[in-house]
Amino acid sequence: MPYEHSADWQYEVPTSGSKRLPPAARYVQSLTHQGYGFEAAIADLVDNSIDAAASKVVISFLRDSDHLVSLLVIDDGNGMDEAGLDIAMTVGGRAGYADSALGHFGAGLKAASLSHADSLTLISRTKRSASAGRRWRTAAAQEDFSCDIVDARYCQDLVDRYDGIVEWHGTIVRWDGVRAFETVTAGQTDRFLNDAIEKLETHLGLYLHRFLARKDFHVDIVVEDVHTRDELDHRGIEPIDPFGYRIPGRANYPRTFSAPVEGVGDVVMTGHIWPPKSPLVAYRGIGPLADRQGFYVYRHDRLVQAGGWNGTRSAETHHNLARITLDLPSAPNGVFSLTVKKDGVNVTPAFARGLEQAVDANGQTFASYLQEAEATYREAARRSTEVRRTEAIPPGKGIDPKLKRTLRDELPQLEGQDPITFRWEAMPSHTFFSIDRDEHVVRLNKEYRPAFNGDRRAGSNDAPVLKGLLYLLLEKNFRMGRSSAQRDDEMALWNNVLITAAHCEMARYENEAG
């Protein structure tokens, strides 16, 4: 019906037709400025692997001598055929998500990747379709949304290269022209990699901790020589549970509260009180304590907000022990909305009003929970200071991730120090170990390696008991700098004892085999 002029307010805006206005090609440029941090971008790629039912995910930094050339994320998920690849490489191109999917907007793969790389290549295969691939280059996509079709033979070659992961099905995401890699100056590659991998371990370990706690899901980070394919570093990601304390900070906690939120219904939350002055990485090692108090919001078991009060109150030091779990309602609603980068949740004032009425099964209010968390913090602050352990140089490559996590839980870490690496090498028979103070390396004689592995396959993180004890014994030698006669004599003593012990172990293996 044609519009007729009227002085009355028009409750509906009148229209006279419609036309299709596709996005300009320069819209791609906006994808590169989404503000994705490096760790959050990789986490978005791993989300896609989880949605594809992957059990194994490998994040591989490809290294050519002193240069980093590419980054890959490889999984053994269901994979995609040609049509699926086209959809995946289209902005907002997901036709639909399963109810339990971690994907949400259909832009994560593209926005996360192009925020950090000039080229995104996606190669995949399914049980019923051959390997195929697509590539987006920022420069070409900005012109006309052009997406390259990757040569089929190369797709199969790359899949074959990682056939230990991608067997009958799986996906490889490849980043080239990674802008952070181009900033690494000569001689700084090891330091850059260690810092980047440490941050990635912490981020993935925290935000994906519920998935990583499952026995059928693993994420590994490797550094790979691009020519020889040798693994220069290999670390398994361990879960970091932000509620992983051993004993709660106050009796009768945690407690579950129900908040009546208009437009959603009853929202269930669990209030925890951490033990005061906890040294655990899950408490101290995931960021400033003031930032990590408050709500930990999950969506389909994936952490999407790690702390913060969502405008319901300000961060206060005396609330550092208060952490609350909240699983987002599965049904769409107008109260909770996820940020595009899945690093936070926006809420309406209805949530704050619901908190004011939240109670547990015994009628205790959410406000009284915060008071008890504050009281626990203040009581601990009045008590005498506990014994503080000496700060230690952090453990590095060659140590099992679980052992590394425990060492970091138990010992305060010196900031800005290169970690201590353990490495098996050829050495004279009269030497069990030696240390390189300048390079922060403990060298172990590989002649004695069988004494600690038996018939098991030796890996870079093997012999955790030996390496754990040597770390505790030797760490001070790196921290104290130059040697002394007493410390040299200690190391000579430990060398002789360990050589004898290794010979005893190997003799036992030989007798049992005979």
Beta-strand relationship, 421-425 and 441-445 = parallel
The answer to whether 63 touches 145, Cβ cutoff 8 Å, is no
The answer to whether position 9 is within a domain reads no
Domain that holds residue 366: 255-382
Select from 201, 236, 271 the last residue of a domain: 236
Mean pLDDT in residue range 140-151: 75
What confidence tens digit (pLDDT) does each residue in 128-141 have?
A: 999 999 998 877 66
- 148 has a pLDDT exceeding 60: yes
- 90 has a pLDDT exceeding 60: yes
The answer to whether 449 touches 499, Cβ cutoff 8 Å, is no
- Rounded CA separation 349/365 (Å): 19
Residues 281 and 314 in one domain: yes
What is the pLDDT, as a whole number, of residue 105? 47
The answer to whether 484 touches 476, Cβ cutoff 8 Å, is no
For 203, phi and psi rounded to 5 degrees? Answer: -65, -50
How many residues in total does the chain contain? 514
The answer to whether 125 touches 166, Cβ cutoff 8 Å, is yes
Residues 169 and 280 in one domain: no
- Rounded CA separation 40/343 (Å): 8
Q: Report the b/e string of 74-98 with b at 16+ CB within 10 A.
A: bbbbbbbeeebbeebbbbeebeeee
Cis status, amide bond into 401, omega within 30 of 0: no
Question: And the tokens for 406?
Answer: 């425990």
The answer to whether position 491 is within a domain reads yes
Residues 220 and 333 in one domain: no
Residues 218 and 267 in one domain: no
The answer to whether 350 touches 312, Cβ cutoff 8 Å, is no
What is the pLDDT, as a whole number, of residue 92? 62
On the 0-12 / 13-18 / 19+ scale of CB atoms within 10 A, 484 is exposed
What confidence tens digit (pLDDT) does each residue in 320-332 have?
A: 999 999 999 888 8
| pLDDT band with cut points at 50, 70 and 90 for residue 10 | confident
DSSP annotation of 482 reads: S
What is the pLDDT, as a whole number, of residue 453? 83
Kindly give the interhelix angle for 38-51 and 189-207, rounded to the nearest 10 degrees.
Answer: 50
- 23 has a pLDDT exceeding 80: no
The answer to whether position 388 is within a domain reads no
Residues 362 and 417 in one domain: no
Residues 212 and 347 in one domain: no
Residues 74 and 148 in one domain: yes
Output the CA–CA distances (angstroms, integers) from residue 483 to 229, 396, 492, in the order listed: 38, 22, 13
Question: And the tokens for 142?
Answer: 């900005």
The answer to whether position 8 is within a domain reads no
Residues 277 and 363 in one domain: yes
- Rounded CA separation 38/42 (Å): 6
Mean pLDDT in residue range 118-126: 93
Residues 414 and 274 in one domain: no
The answer to whether position 10 is within a domain reads no
Residues 232 and 279 in one domain: no
Select from 322, 354, 382 the last residue of a domain: 382
- 383 has a pLDDT exceeding 80: no
Cα end-to-end distance, the chain, whole Å: 97
The answer to whether position 145 is within a domain reads yes
Output the CA–CA distances (angstroms, integers) from residue 30 to 24, 27, 66, 141, in the order listed: 11, 5, 32, 12
Residues 260 and 354 in one domain: yes
Question: And the tokens for 297?
Answer: 């919001």
Residues 292 and 336 in one domain: yes
The answer to whether 322 touches 369, Cβ cutoff 8 Å, is yes
- 260 has a pLDDT exceeding 90: yes
Four-residue CA torsion sign, 240, 241, 246, 249: positive
Mean pLDDT in residue range 32-55: 88
Question: How many structural domains compose the chain?
Answer: 3
The answer to whether 454 touches 463, Cβ cutoff 8 Å, is no
Mean pLDDT in residue range 441-446: 94
What confidence tens digit (pLDDT) does each residue in 399-420 have?
A: 988 898 888 888 888 888 889 9
- The predicted model scores a pTM of 0.81
Looking at per-residue confidence, does 456 or 173 come out higher? Answer: 173
Output the CA–CA distances (angstroms, integers) from residue 329 to 74, 97, 297, 299, 338, in the order listed: 31, 16, 11, 8, 12
Range with lowest mean pLDDT among 57-66, 180-189, 411-420: 411-420
The answer to whether position 4 is within a domain reads no
Select from 331, 351, 382 the last residue of a domain: 382
- Rounded CA separation 172/124 (Å): 6
- Rounded CA separation 487/445 (Å): 20
The answer to whether position 250 is within a domain reads no
The H or E element that residue 282 is part of is helix 281-284
| pLDDT band with cut points at 50, 70 and 90 for residue 241 | very high
